[in-house]
Structure 1
Amino acid sequence: MPTRRAVTGRSREPRARFAEELRHLRAQRGESLRQLGDRLGWDWSLFGKMESGETLGGPEVVEALDQHYGTPGLLLALWELAINDQTQFRERYRRYMELESKATSLWHFAVSVLPGLLQTPGYAGEVLAAGGLKGLDLEQQVQARMSRRSLLEGDDAPPFRTILSEAVLRTPLRDAGEWRAQLEYLAGAADRRNVALQVLPFSAGFHGLMNVDVWYLRQPEGRTLAYTESGYRGELLEETAAVERLQLAYDAVRDLALSPVESRKFILRMLEEVPCDPST
Protein backbone atom coordinates (compact mmCIF):
# COMPACT_ATOMS: atom_id res chain seq x y z
CA MET A 1 0.00 0.00 0.00
CA PRO A 2 1.50 3.40 -0.95
CA THR A 3 2.34 5.88 1.79
CA ARG A 4 -0.54 8.25 2.53
CA ARG A 5 0.20 11.84 1.61
CA ALA A 6 -0.84 15.04 3.33
CA VAL A 7 -3.12 17.61 1.68
CA THR A 8 0.01 19.43 0.47
CA GLY A 9 0.84 16.40 -1.67
CA ARG A 10 4.15 15.93 0.14
CA SER A 11 5.38 12.84 1.93
CA ARG A 12 4.39 12.21 5.55
CA GLU A 13 7.35 9.91 6.16
CA PRO A 14 9.81 12.06 8.17
CA ARG A 15 13.04 11.23 6.38
CA ALA A 16 11.50 11.44 2.92
CA ARG A 17 9.73 14.68 3.87
CA PHE A 18 13.00 16.25 5.00
CA ALA A 19 14.78 15.29 1.75
CA GLU A 20 11.81 16.49 -0.30
CA GLU A 21 11.83 19.90 1.39
CA LEU A 22 15.55 20.29 0.74
CA ARG A 23 15.05 19.58 -2.97
CA HIS A 24 12.07 21.93 -3.14
CA LEU A 25 13.87 24.86 -1.51
CA ARG A 26 16.94 24.51 -3.71
CA ALA A 27 14.80 24.28 -6.83
CA GLN A 28 13.03 27.50 -5.82
CA ARG A 29 16.42 29.21 -5.58
CA GLY A 30 17.51 27.83 -8.92
CA GLU A 31 20.82 26.68 -7.43
CA SER A 32 22.93 23.71 -8.37
CA LEU A 33 24.37 21.47 -5.69
CA ARG A 34 27.83 22.84 -6.44
CA GLN A 35 26.63 26.43 -6.06
CA LEU A 36 25.00 25.54 -2.75
CA GLY A 37 28.20 23.92 -1.53
CA ASP A 38 30.30 26.92 -2.55
CA ARG A 39 27.98 29.38 -0.80
CA LEU A 40 27.72 27.45 2.47
CA GLY A 41 31.25 26.06 2.62
CA TRP A 42 30.42 22.36 2.63
CA ASP A 43 31.23 19.71 0.05
CA TRP A 44 28.38 19.78 -2.45
CA SER A 45 28.13 15.96 -2.39
CA LEU A 46 26.86 16.16 1.21
CA PHE A 47 23.83 18.14 0.04
CA GLY A 48 23.24 15.63 -2.73
CA LYS A 49 23.20 12.78 -0.20
CA MET A 50 20.83 14.72 2.06
CA GLU A 51 18.45 15.42 -0.81
CA SER A 52 18.44 11.78 -1.88
CA GLY A 53 17.80 10.61 1.69
CA GLU A 54 21.14 8.80 1.91
CA THR A 55 22.11 10.81 4.97
CA LEU A 56 20.46 13.33 7.30
CA GLY A 57 23.54 15.47 7.92
CA GLY A 58 24.22 17.18 11.23
CA PRO A 59 22.48 20.03 13.06
CA GLU A 60 25.14 22.57 12.04
CA VAL A 61 24.60 22.10 8.31
CA VAL A 62 20.80 22.03 8.75
CA GLU A 63 20.89 25.32 10.67
CA ALA A 64 23.03 26.82 7.90
CA LEU A 65 20.48 25.70 5.33
CA ASP A 66 17.65 27.23 7.37
CA GLN A 67 19.51 30.53 7.38
CA HIS A 68 20.37 30.30 3.69
CA TYR A 69 16.80 29.60 2.59
CA GLY A 70 15.20 32.01 5.08
CA THR A 71 13.24 29.24 6.82
CA PRO A 72 14.20 29.77 10.47
CA GLY A 73 13.67 26.53 12.38
CA LEU A 74 11.67 24.73 9.68
CA LEU A 75 14.41 22.45 8.36
CA LEU A 76 15.81 21.84 11.84
CA ALA A 77 12.34 20.74 13.03
CA LEU A 78 11.99 18.36 10.05
CA TRP A 79 15.51 17.07 10.70
CA GLU A 80 14.65 16.32 14.34
CA LEU A 81 11.55 14.39 13.26
CA ALA A 82 13.66 12.39 10.81
CA ILE A 83 16.29 11.66 13.47
CA ASN A 84 13.57 10.48 15.87
CA ASP A 85 12.15 8.25 13.17
CA GLN A 86 15.60 6.71 12.78
CA THR A 87 15.57 6.00 16.53
CA GLN A 88 12.34 4.05 16.04
CA PHE A 89 14.03 2.19 13.19
CA ARG A 90 16.88 1.22 15.53
CA GLU A 91 14.37 -0.09 18.08
CA ARG A 92 12.78 -2.32 15.44
CA TYR A 93 16.23 -3.44 14.33
CA ARG A 94 17.16 -4.40 17.90
CA ARG A 95 14.18 -6.78 17.96
CA TYR A 96 15.36 -8.24 14.69
CA MET A 97 18.82 -8.78 16.18
CA GLU A 98 17.31 -10.75 19.06
CA LEU A 99 15.44 -12.99 16.62
CA GLU A 100 18.55 -13.39 14.47
CA SER A 101 20.57 -14.61 17.46
CA LYS A 102 17.99 -17.35 18.10
CA ALA A 103 17.55 -18.44 14.48
CA THR A 104 18.25 -22.07 13.59
CA SER A 105 18.92 -21.08 9.96
CA LEU A 106 19.19 -17.84 7.99
CA TRP A 107 18.54 -17.05 4.34
CA HIS A 108 19.39 -13.72 2.80
CA PHE A 109 19.24 -11.77 -0.45
CA ALA A 110 21.30 -8.63 -1.09
CA VAL A 111 20.46 -5.96 -3.68
CA SER A 112 23.48 -3.67 -3.40
CA VAL A 113 25.38 -4.14 -0.11
CA LEU A 114 27.01 -7.18 1.45
CA PRO A 115 25.31 -8.57 4.58
CA GLY A 116 26.88 -7.40 7.83
CA LEU A 117 27.67 -11.02 8.74
CA LEU A 118 30.17 -11.15 5.84
CA GLN A 119 31.64 -7.64 5.97
CA THR A 120 35.24 -6.78 6.79
CA PRO A 121 35.99 -3.76 9.00
CA GLY A 122 37.08 -1.73 5.96
CA TYR A 123 33.87 -2.48 4.08
CA ALA A 124 31.65 -1.81 7.09
CA GLY A 125 33.41 1.48 7.76
CA GLU A 126 32.88 2.79 4.24
CA VAL A 127 29.23 1.71 4.11
CA LEU A 128 28.42 3.24 7.50
CA ALA A 129 30.31 6.44 6.68
CA ALA A 130 28.25 6.80 3.50
CA GLY A 131 25.17 6.77 5.75
CA GLY A 132 26.45 9.77 7.68
CA LEU A 133 28.24 8.19 10.64
CA LYS A 134 31.63 9.55 11.67
CA GLY A 135 34.08 9.70 14.54
CA LEU A 136 33.41 7.62 17.63
CA ASP A 137 29.89 6.68 16.47
CA LEU A 138 31.36 5.19 13.31
CA GLU A 139 34.02 3.24 15.21
CA GLN A 140 31.45 1.84 17.64
CA GLN A 141 29.10 0.75 14.86
CA VAL A 142 31.92 -0.95 12.96
CA GLN A 143 32.92 -2.83 16.13
CA ALA A 144 29.31 -3.84 16.74
CA ARG A 145 29.00 -5.12 13.19
CA MET A 146 32.21 -7.12 13.48
CA SER A 147 30.97 -8.74 16.68
CA ARG A 148 27.95 -10.07 14.75
CA ARG A 149 30.20 -12.23 12.59
CA SER A 150 30.66 -14.61 15.53
CA LEU A 151 27.12 -15.83 14.83
CA LEU A 152 28.47 -17.86 11.89
CA GLU A 153 31.44 -19.26 13.81
CA GLY A 154 31.72 -22.33 16.02
CA ASP A 155 30.32 -25.85 15.92
CA ASP A 156 26.76 -24.72 16.66
CA ALA A 157 26.66 -21.95 14.05
CA PRO A 158 23.37 -21.95 12.10
CA PRO A 159 23.26 -22.67 8.37
CA PHE A 160 23.46 -19.42 6.41
CA ARG A 161 22.61 -18.93 2.72
CA THR A 162 23.09 -15.61 0.99
CA ILE A 163 22.35 -14.69 -2.61
CA LEU A 164 24.26 -11.62 -3.76
CA SER A 165 23.14 -9.59 -6.73
CA GLU A 166 26.07 -9.07 -9.09
CA ALA A 167 25.68 -5.36 -8.38
CA VAL A 168 26.96 -6.03 -4.84
CA LEU A 169 30.25 -7.30 -6.25
CA ARG A 170 30.47 -4.61 -8.93
CA THR A 171 30.47 -1.81 -6.33
CA PRO A 172 34.05 -1.75 -5.01
CA LEU A 173 35.48 0.16 -2.09
CA ARG A 174 37.53 3.27 -2.79
CA ASP A 175 40.56 1.59 -1.27
CA ALA A 176 41.65 -1.25 -3.57
CA GLY A 177 43.49 -2.99 -0.73
CA GLU A 178 40.38 -3.01 1.46
CA TRP A 179 38.30 -4.25 -1.47
CA ARG A 180 40.75 -7.08 -2.08
CA ALA A 181 40.56 -8.01 1.62
CA GLN A 182 36.77 -8.07 1.42
CA LEU A 183 36.70 -10.32 -1.65
CA GLU A 184 39.25 -12.65 -0.04
CA TYR A 185 37.10 -12.81 3.08
CA LEU A 186 34.05 -13.68 0.96
CA ALA A 187 35.92 -16.43 -0.87
CA GLY A 188 37.01 -17.88 2.47
CA ALA A 189 33.51 -17.66 3.91
CA ALA A 190 32.14 -19.53 0.91
CA ASP A 191 34.29 -22.51 1.95
CA ARG A 192 32.69 -22.81 5.38
CA ARG A 193 30.52 -25.87 5.92
CA ASN A 194 27.57 -23.81 7.20
CA VAL A 195 27.70 -21.05 4.55
CA ALA A 196 26.17 -21.24 1.07
CA LEU A 197 27.01 -18.21 -1.07
CA GLN A 198 25.48 -17.65 -4.49
CA VAL A 199 25.78 -14.84 -7.01
CA LEU A 200 22.80 -13.67 -9.04
CA PRO A 201 24.28 -12.47 -12.36
CA PHE A 202 22.98 -9.48 -14.28
CA SER A 203 22.00 -11.89 -17.04
CA ALA A 204 19.23 -13.28 -14.77
CA GLY A 205 17.17 -10.19 -15.65
CA PHE A 206 14.19 -8.91 -13.70
CA HIS A 207 13.05 -10.81 -10.61
CA GLY A 208 10.77 -10.50 -7.59
CA LEU A 209 13.35 -9.16 -5.11
CA MET A 210 14.84 -6.33 -7.15
CA ASN A 211 14.18 -3.48 -4.74
CA VAL A 212 14.82 -4.83 -1.26
CA ASP A 213 17.22 -6.78 0.94
CA VAL A 214 15.47 -9.70 2.65
CA TRP A 215 16.34 -11.90 5.61
CA TYR A 216 14.49 -15.10 6.48
CA LEU A 217 14.91 -16.32 10.05
CA ARG A 218 13.89 -19.86 10.96
CA GLN A 219 12.97 -19.86 14.68
CA PRO A 220 13.42 -22.75 17.13
CA GLU A 221 9.67 -23.37 17.32
CA GLY A 222 9.55 -23.92 13.55
CA ARG A 223 8.08 -20.67 12.20
CA THR A 224 9.93 -18.48 9.72
CA LEU A 225 10.02 -14.69 9.95
CA ALA A 226 11.08 -12.27 7.23
CA TYR A 227 12.80 -8.93 7.59
CA THR A 228 12.89 -6.52 4.65
CA GLU A 229 15.28 -3.61 4.70
CA SER A 230 16.03 -0.54 2.62
CA GLY A 231 18.33 2.38 3.37
CA TYR A 232 15.49 4.16 5.15
CA ARG A 233 13.65 1.57 7.22
CA GLY A 234 13.20 -2.08 8.05
CA GLU A 235 10.06 -4.12 8.48
CA LEU A 236 9.64 -7.40 10.33
CA LEU A 237 7.02 -9.66 8.74
CA GLU A 238 5.46 -12.36 10.88
CA GLU A 239 2.20 -13.06 9.05
CA THR A 240 2.44 -16.51 7.45
CA ALA A 241 0.93 -15.50 4.10
CA ALA A 242 3.29 -12.51 3.67
CA VAL A 243 6.35 -14.57 4.58
CA GLU A 244 5.35 -17.37 2.19
CA ARG A 245 5.00 -14.91 -0.70
CA LEU A 246 8.51 -13.65 -0.04
CA GLN A 247 9.81 -17.21 0.24
CA LEU A 248 8.39 -18.06 -3.18
CA ALA A 249 10.17 -15.01 -4.61
CA TYR A 250 13.40 -16.13 -2.92
CA ASP A 251 13.07 -19.65 -4.33
CA ALA A 252 12.66 -18.21 -7.83
CA VAL A 253 15.76 -16.02 -7.39
CA ARG A 254 17.79 -18.98 -6.10
CA ASP A 255 16.89 -20.92 -9.25
CA LEU A 256 18.36 -18.06 -11.33
CA ALA A 257 21.58 -17.75 -9.30
CA LEU A 258 24.92 -19.39 -9.97
CA SER A 259 25.69 -22.50 -7.93
CA PRO A 260 27.85 -22.08 -4.82
CA VAL A 261 30.84 -23.55 -6.69
CA GLU A 262 30.40 -21.25 -9.69
CA SER A 263 29.77 -18.31 -7.37
CA ARG A 264 33.10 -18.82 -5.60
CA LYS A 265 34.83 -18.95 -9.00
CA PHE A 266 33.06 -15.69 -9.86
CA ILE A 267 34.49 -14.03 -6.73
CA LEU A 268 37.99 -15.36 -7.47
CA ARG A 269 37.80 -13.94 -11.01
CA MET A 270 36.87 -10.58 -9.52
CA LEU A 271 39.88 -10.81 -7.22
CA GLU A 272 42.11 -11.12 -10.28
CA GLU A 273 40.72 -7.79 -11.53
CA VAL A 274 41.67 -5.88 -8.36
CA PRO A 275 45.04 -4.09 -8.67
CA CYS A 276 47.71 -5.43 -6.34
CA ASP A 277 49.53 -3.10 -3.96
CA PRO A 278 52.88 -2.47 -5.68
CA SER A 279 54.55 -2.09 -2.26
CA THR A 280 53.85 -5.74 -1.36
Structure 2
Amino acid sequence: MPQRRLVTSRSQEPRQRFAEELRKLRALRGVSLRQLGDRLGWDYSLFGKMEKGETLGGPEVVQALDQYFGTPGMLLALWELAMGDRTQFRERYRQYMALESDATSLWHFAVSVLPGLLQTPGYAREVLAAGGLKGDELEQQVEARMGRRELLAGEDPPHFRTILSEAVLRTPLRDPTQWRQQLEYLLEVGERDDVTVQVVPFGAGLHGLTNADVMFLRLPEGRTVAYAENGYRGELIEEIAPVERLQRAYDSVRDLALSPAESRKFILRILEEVPCDPST
Protein backbone atom coordinates (compact mmCIF):
# COMPACT_ATOMS: atom_id res chain seq x y z
CA MET A 1 0.00 0.00 0.00
CA PRO A 2 1.60 3.32 -1.00
CA GLN A 3 2.50 5.74 1.79
CA ARG A 4 -0.07 8.45 2.27
CA ARG A 5 1.14 11.89 1.22
CA LEU A 6 0.72 14.89 3.48
CA VAL A 7 -1.77 17.34 2.02
CA THR A 8 -0.37 20.36 3.86
CA SER A 9 2.96 21.95 2.97
CA ARG A 10 3.38 23.31 6.48
CA SER A 11 6.21 22.06 8.65
CA GLN A 12 5.45 19.18 10.99
CA GLU A 13 8.26 20.20 13.40
CA PRO A 14 6.62 22.20 16.25
CA ARG A 15 9.14 25.02 16.46
CA GLN A 16 9.24 25.57 12.69
CA ARG A 17 5.45 25.37 12.45
CA PHE A 18 5.11 28.03 15.14
CA ALA A 19 7.53 30.35 13.29
CA GLU A 20 5.71 29.75 9.97
CA GLU A 21 2.34 30.67 11.46
CA LEU A 22 3.75 33.88 12.89
CA ARG A 23 5.17 34.92 9.50
CA LYS A 24 1.93 34.05 7.71
CA LEU A 25 -0.30 35.92 10.14
CA ARG A 26 1.83 39.06 10.05
CA ALA A 27 1.89 38.98 6.24
CA LEU A 28 -1.90 38.67 6.14
CA ARG A 29 -2.24 41.63 8.50
CA GLY A 30 0.19 43.63 6.36
CA VAL A 31 2.32 45.05 9.16
CA SER A 32 6.07 45.29 9.55
CA LEU A 33 7.98 43.86 12.49
CA ARG A 34 8.52 47.38 13.82
CA GLN A 35 4.79 48.18 13.56
CA LEU A 36 3.96 44.95 15.36
CA GLY A 37 6.38 45.82 18.14
CA ASP A 38 4.95 49.32 18.49
CA ARG A 39 1.37 48.04 18.70
CA LEU A 40 2.04 45.26 21.21
CA GLY A 41 4.68 46.99 23.34
CA TRP A 42 7.60 44.59 22.77
CA ASP A 43 10.90 45.22 21.04
CA TYR A 44 10.30 44.41 17.36
CA SER A 45 13.52 42.35 17.24
CA LEU A 46 11.82 39.78 19.47
CA PHE A 47 9.21 39.10 16.79
CA GLY A 48 11.92 38.82 14.15
CA LYS A 49 13.69 36.14 16.20
CA MET A 50 10.43 34.31 16.81
CA GLU A 51 9.67 34.26 13.08
CA LYS A 52 13.15 32.86 12.37
CA GLY A 53 12.75 30.16 15.01
CA GLU A 54 15.61 31.58 17.07
CA THR A 55 13.44 31.97 20.16
CA LEU A 56 9.92 31.02 21.23
CA GLY A 57 9.24 34.02 23.42
CA GLY A 58 7.12 33.69 26.54
CA PRO A 59 3.43 32.97 27.15
CA GLU A 60 2.57 36.64 27.66
CA VAL A 61 3.82 37.72 24.25
CA VAL A 62 2.18 34.72 22.55
CA GLN A 63 -1.16 35.50 24.19
CA ALA A 64 -0.83 39.10 23.01
CA LEU A 65 -0.19 37.88 19.46
CA ASP A 66 -3.22 35.57 19.61
CA GLN A 67 -5.36 38.52 20.60
CA TYR A 68 -3.89 40.86 17.98
CA PHE A 69 -4.22 38.39 15.10
CA GLY A 70 -7.66 37.15 16.18
CA THR A 71 -6.51 33.56 16.67
CA PRO A 72 -7.69 32.84 20.23
CA GLY A 73 -5.56 30.07 21.69
CA MET A 74 -4.10 28.81 18.39
CA LEU A 75 -0.65 30.37 18.72
CA LEU A 76 -0.47 29.52 22.39
CA ALA A 77 -1.24 25.86 21.60
CA LEU A 78 1.51 25.80 18.95
CA TRP A 79 3.88 27.50 21.39
CA GLU A 80 3.20 24.84 24.03
CA LEU A 81 3.90 22.09 21.50
CA ALA A 82 7.17 23.76 20.52
CA MET A 83 8.14 24.21 24.16
CA GLY A 84 7.51 20.52 24.77
CA ASP A 85 9.96 19.41 22.10
CA ARG A 86 12.88 17.79 23.97
CA THR A 87 15.43 18.39 21.22
CA GLN A 88 14.78 22.10 21.41
CA PHE A 89 14.89 21.96 25.21
CA ARG A 90 18.36 20.43 25.14
CA GLU A 91 19.55 23.01 22.64
CA ARG A 92 18.26 25.89 24.77
CA TYR A 93 19.93 24.38 27.82
CA ARG A 94 23.24 24.09 25.98
CA GLN A 95 22.95 27.77 25.06
CA TYR A 96 22.26 28.59 28.69
CA MET A 97 25.29 26.63 29.89
CA ALA A 98 27.56 28.50 27.50
CA LEU A 99 26.25 31.83 28.79
CA GLU A 100 26.54 30.71 32.42
CA SER A 101 30.26 30.03 32.00
CA ASP A 102 30.79 33.64 30.83
CA ALA A 103 28.55 35.38 33.37
CA THR A 104 30.01 37.97 35.74
CA SER A 105 27.22 37.51 38.28
CA LEU A 106 24.27 35.16 38.76
CA TRP A 107 21.01 35.62 40.69
CA HIS A 108 18.82 32.60 41.30
CA PHE A 109 15.47 31.70 42.82
CA ALA A 110 14.52 28.11 43.71
CA VAL A 111 10.98 26.82 44.18
CA SER A 112 11.61 23.26 45.37
CA VAL A 113 15.13 22.05 44.45
CA LEU A 114 18.56 23.45 45.27
CA PRO A 115 20.45 24.96 42.33
CA GLY A 116 22.91 22.62 40.64
CA LEU A 117 25.80 24.93 41.55
CA LEU A 118 25.20 24.18 45.26
CA GLN A 119 24.35 20.48 45.14
CA THR A 120 26.38 17.68 46.71
CA PRO A 121 26.82 14.39 44.81
CA GLY A 122 24.24 12.66 47.01
CA TYR A 123 21.65 15.37 46.43
CA ALA A 124 22.28 15.50 42.69
CA ARG A 125 22.05 11.71 42.38
CA GLU A 126 18.66 11.53 44.11
CA VAL A 127 17.23 14.48 42.17
CA LEU A 128 18.40 13.12 38.82
CA ALA A 129 17.22 9.60 39.64
CA ALA A 130 13.79 10.99 40.49
CA GLY A 131 13.76 12.41 36.95
CA GLY A 132 14.20 8.92 35.46
CA LEU A 133 17.96 8.65 35.00
CA LYS A 134 19.72 5.46 36.05
CA GLY A 135 22.87 3.42 35.55
CA ASP A 136 25.80 4.92 33.66
CA GLU A 137 23.75 7.86 32.39
CA LEU A 138 22.87 8.82 35.96
CA GLU A 139 26.48 8.71 37.11
CA GLN A 140 27.61 10.72 34.10
CA GLN A 141 25.06 13.42 34.83
CA VAL A 142 26.03 13.53 38.51
CA GLU A 143 29.67 13.95 37.50
CA ALA A 144 28.75 16.69 35.03
CA ARG A 145 26.74 18.52 37.67
CA MET A 146 29.63 18.36 40.13
CA GLY A 147 31.83 19.84 37.42
CA ARG A 148 29.55 22.87 37.28
CA ARG A 149 30.43 23.69 40.89
CA GLU A 150 33.90 24.67 39.69
CA LEU A 151 32.31 27.84 38.32
CA LEU A 152 32.14 29.16 41.89
CA ALA A 153 35.54 27.83 42.93
CA GLY A 154 37.90 29.55 40.49
CA GLU A 155 40.25 32.46 41.11
CA ASP A 156 37.74 35.07 39.94
CA PRO A 157 34.29 33.48 40.36
CA PRO A 158 31.09 35.35 39.52
CA HIS A 159 29.05 36.55 42.45
CA PHE A 160 26.20 34.13 43.03
CA ARG A 161 23.00 34.90 44.96
CA THR A 162 20.36 32.25 45.52
CA ILE A 163 16.99 32.82 47.18
CA LEU A 164 15.47 29.55 48.36
CA SER A 165 11.81 28.95 49.02
CA GLU A 166 11.36 27.29 52.41
CA ALA A 167 9.97 24.32 50.47
CA VAL A 168 13.51 23.58 49.24
CA LEU A 169 14.67 23.09 52.82
CA ARG A 170 11.54 21.19 53.85
CA THR A 171 12.04 18.55 51.14
CA PRO A 172 14.77 16.27 52.52
CA LEU A 173 16.62 13.46 50.84
CA ARG A 174 15.60 9.92 51.71
CA ASP A 175 19.02 9.32 53.25
CA PRO A 176 19.37 11.52 56.38
CA THR A 177 23.17 11.34 56.18
CA GLN A 178 23.19 12.67 52.62
CA TRP A 179 20.69 15.35 53.57
CA ARG A 180 22.83 16.45 56.50
CA GLN A 181 25.87 16.64 54.22
CA GLN A 182 23.91 18.77 51.76
CA LEU A 183 22.78 21.23 54.41
CA GLU A 184 26.29 21.46 55.84
CA TYR A 185 27.66 22.14 52.37
CA LEU A 186 25.05 24.84 51.82
CA LEU A 187 26.14 26.54 55.05
CA GLU A 188 29.79 26.20 54.07
CA VAL A 189 29.33 27.72 50.64
CA GLY A 190 27.18 30.50 52.10
CA GLU A 191 30.22 31.67 54.08
CA ARG A 192 32.10 32.60 50.91
CA ASP A 193 32.38 36.29 50.11
CA ASP A 194 31.06 35.77 46.57
CA VAL A 195 28.02 33.64 47.50
CA THR A 196 24.82 34.92 49.13
CA VAL A 197 22.14 32.52 50.37
CA GLN A 198 18.71 33.75 51.45
CA VAL A 199 15.49 31.98 52.42
CA VAL A 200 11.89 32.99 51.74
CA PRO A 201 9.78 31.50 54.56
CA PHE A 202 6.30 30.16 53.94
CA GLY A 203 4.94 33.06 55.94
CA ALA A 204 5.94 35.47 53.18
CA GLY A 205 2.90 34.29 51.20
CA LEU A 206 2.40 34.16 47.44
CA HIS A 207 4.67 36.12 45.11
CA GLY A 208 5.51 36.53 41.44
CA LEU A 209 7.94 33.59 41.27
CA THR A 210 5.82 31.01 43.07
CA ASN A 211 5.68 28.55 40.14
CA ALA A 212 9.13 28.58 38.53
CA ASP A 213 12.85 28.53 39.16
CA VAL A 214 14.72 31.37 37.49
CA MET A 215 18.38 32.25 36.97
CA PHE A 216 19.60 35.66 35.83
CA LEU A 217 22.97 35.91 34.14
CA ARG A 218 24.80 39.23 33.94
CA LEU A 219 27.05 38.95 30.88
CA PRO A 220 30.37 40.72 30.25
CA GLU A 221 28.88 43.09 27.67
CA GLY A 222 26.43 44.37 30.30
CA ARG A 223 23.20 42.70 29.22
CA THR A 224 21.20 40.32 31.40
CA VAL A 225 19.47 37.14 30.25
CA ALA A 226 17.24 34.80 32.22
CA TYR A 227 16.58 31.08 32.25
CA ALA A 228 13.22 30.05 33.72
CA GLU A 229 12.13 26.46 34.19
CA ASN A 230 9.59 24.25 35.85
CA GLY A 231 9.60 20.46 36.18
CA TYR A 232 8.86 19.91 32.49
CA ARG A 233 10.58 22.56 30.42
CA GLY A 234 12.90 25.51 30.45
CA GLU A 235 13.19 28.69 28.43
CA LEU A 236 16.17 30.92 27.77
CA ILE A 237 14.87 34.50 27.78
CA GLU A 238 16.99 37.17 26.13
CA GLU A 239 14.44 39.85 25.22
CA ILE A 240 14.73 43.02 27.31
CA ALA A 241 11.09 43.50 28.35
CA PRO A 242 10.42 39.94 29.64
CA VAL A 243 13.77 39.88 31.48
CA GLU A 244 12.96 43.20 33.16
CA ARG A 245 9.55 41.91 34.26
CA LEU A 246 11.19 38.84 35.80
CA GLN A 247 13.78 41.03 37.50
CA ARG A 248 11.06 43.13 39.10
CA ALA A 249 9.43 39.95 40.41
CA TYR A 250 12.82 38.78 41.70
CA ASP A 251 13.42 42.09 43.48
CA SER A 252 10.04 41.74 45.19
CA VAL A 253 10.92 38.23 46.34
CA ARG A 254 14.26 39.44 47.67
CA ASP A 255 12.39 42.04 49.72
CA LEU A 256 10.37 39.19 51.29
CA ALA A 257 13.42 37.02 52.03
CA LEU A 258 15.25 36.73 55.32
CA SER A 259 18.62 38.46 55.51
CA PRO A 260 21.69 36.30 54.82
CA ALA A 261 22.42 36.12 58.56
CA GLU A 262 18.84 35.17 59.45
CA SER A 263 18.79 32.71 56.57
CA ARG A 264 21.88 30.99 57.95
CA LYS A 265 20.16 30.63 61.34
CA PHE A 266 17.11 29.21 59.55
CA ILE A 267 19.20 26.57 57.76
CA LEU A 268 20.95 25.70 61.02
CA ARG A 269 17.56 25.06 62.63
CA ILE A 270 16.64 22.74 59.75
CA LEU A 271 19.97 20.94 60.17
CA GLU A 272 19.30 20.41 63.87
CA GLU A 273 16.10 18.58 62.97
CA VAL A 274 17.92 16.01 60.80
CA PRO A 275 18.40 12.66 62.61
CA CYS A 276 22.03 11.89 63.38
CA ASP A 277 23.68 8.83 61.87
CA PRO A 278 23.36 6.12 64.58
CA SER A 279 26.71 4.64 63.53
CA THR A 280 28.61 7.79 64.57
TM-score w.r.t. length of structure 1: 0.71
Q: Which letter does structure 2 place at the counterpart of 1:252? A: S
Q: Which letter does structure 2 place at the counterpart of 1:97? A: M
Q: Distance in 2 between matches of 1:14 and 1:221?
A: 30
Q: Distance in 2 between matches of 1:214 and 1:111?
A: 9
Deviation of 1:252 after TM superposition, in Å, equals 0.5
Distance 1:10 1:243, change over 3 A: closer
Distance 1:10 1:248, change over 3 A: closer
Deviation of 1:12 after TM superposition, in Å, equals 6.4
Deviation of 1:5 after TM superposition, in Å, equals 6.2
Q: Which letter does structure 1 place at the counterpart of 2:81? A: E
Q: What do you get for the CA RMSD once the two structures are aligned? A: 2.1
Q: Which letter does structure 2 place at the counterpart of 1:110? A: A
Could you say which residue in structure 1 is the equivalent of 2:238? Answer: 238
Could you say which residue in structure 1 is the equivalent of 2:142? Answer: 142
Could you say which residue in structure 2 is the equivalent of 1:205? Answer: 205
Could you say which residue in structure 2 is the equivalent of 1:28? Answer: none
Deviation of 1:148 after TM superposition, in Å, equals 0.1
SS at match of 1:235: strand
Confirm or deny: 8 A CA contact 1:107 1:216 kept in the other structure. Answer: yes
Q: Distance in 1 between matches of 2:279 and 2:80?
A: 53
Q: Distance in 1 between matches of 2:82 and 2:245?
A: 29
Q: Distance in 1 between matches of 2:247 and 2:271?
A: 32
SS at match of 1:156: coil
Distance 1:212 1:244, change over 3 A: same
Deviation of 1:10 after TM superposition, in Å, equals 12
Could you say which residue in structure 2 is the equivalent of 1:102? Answer: 102
Deviation of 1:117 after TM superposition, in Å, equals 0.1
Partner deviation per Cα, 1:161-203 (whole Å, 9 max, x = no partner)? 0000000000000000000000000010110110000000000
Deviation of 1:144 after TM superposition, in Å, equals 0.2
Could you say which residue in structure 2 is the equivalent of 1:13? Answer: 81
Matched, 1:218 2:221: no
Larger of the two Rg values belongs to structure:
2
Could you say which residue in structure 1 is the equivalent of 2:40? Answer: none
Deviation of 1:102 after TM superposition, in Å, equals 0.2
Q: Which letter does structure 2 place at the counterpart of 1:258? A: L
Confirm or deny: 8 A CA contact 1:228 1:236 kept in the other structure. Answer: yes
Distance 1:175 1:268, change over 3 A: same
Deviation of 1:238 after TM superposition, in Å, equals 1.0
Instruction: Note the 1:33-72 alignment, pairs <5 A.
Output: none
Could you say which residue in structure 1 is the equivalent of 2:120? Answer: 120
Distance 1:133 1:262, change over 3 A: same
SS at match of 1:243: helix
Confirm or deny: 8 A CA contact 1:106 1:218 kept in the other structure. Answer: yes
Distance 1:91 1:11, change over 3 A: closer
Deviation of 1:13 after TM superposition, in Å, equals 3.0
Distance 1:261 1:89, change over 3 A: same
Distance 1:103 1:12, change over 3 A: closer
Q: Which letter does structure 2 place at the counterpart of 1:167? A: A
Confirm or deny: 8 A CA contact 1:4 1:12 kept in the other structure. Answer: no
Could you say which residue in structure 2 is the equivalent of 1:32? Answer: none
Distance 1:156 1:12, change over 3 A: closer
